[in-house]
Amino acid sequence: MKERLAELVSESCDGELTPADVLAATVPLAYLGVTSLAQMRLIDAVEREYGVEVDLSGDVTFLDSVDGLAAWVEAARSPA
């Protein structure tokens, strides 16, 4: 899943970051240049691909990394 999420981040940034760059990141993705527009594109892509809904009024710090995003998607897809 992390590899696919890294691809979605790359696509959301119009290829300015490669999936390898995203996976190797040790800083929040915003520090790599993921803009707020790219973040919105990423949210849309994740919602479509994984059938989840991101609540923008809540804590969205999981968007800082592929690891955080993967954990959030797994939790969001798990039955309550």
Q: What pLDDT digit, counting tens, does each position of 37-71 carry?
A: 999 999 999 999 999 999 999 899 999 999 999 99
| Domain limits, the chain | 2-77
Furthest C-alpha separation in the chain:
37
What pLDDT is stored for residue 79 in this prediction?
Answer: 78
pLDDT grade, residue 80 (50/70/90)? low
Query: Phi/psi at 24 (nearest 5 deg)?
Result: -85, -5
Full-model pTM = 0.93
The angle that helices 66-77 and 2-12 make with each other, rounded to 10 degrees, is: 110
Q: Residues 60, 69, 55, 13: what is their CA dihedral angle, to the nearest 10 degrees?
A: 80
What pLDDT is stored for residue 66 in this prediction?
Answer: 96
| pLDDT tens digit sequence for 3-26 | 999 999 999 999 999 999 999 999
Distance CA 50, CA 35 (A): 22
Architecture category of domain 2-77 in CATH = Orthogonal Bundle (1.10)
pLDDT surpassing 90 at residue 36:
yes
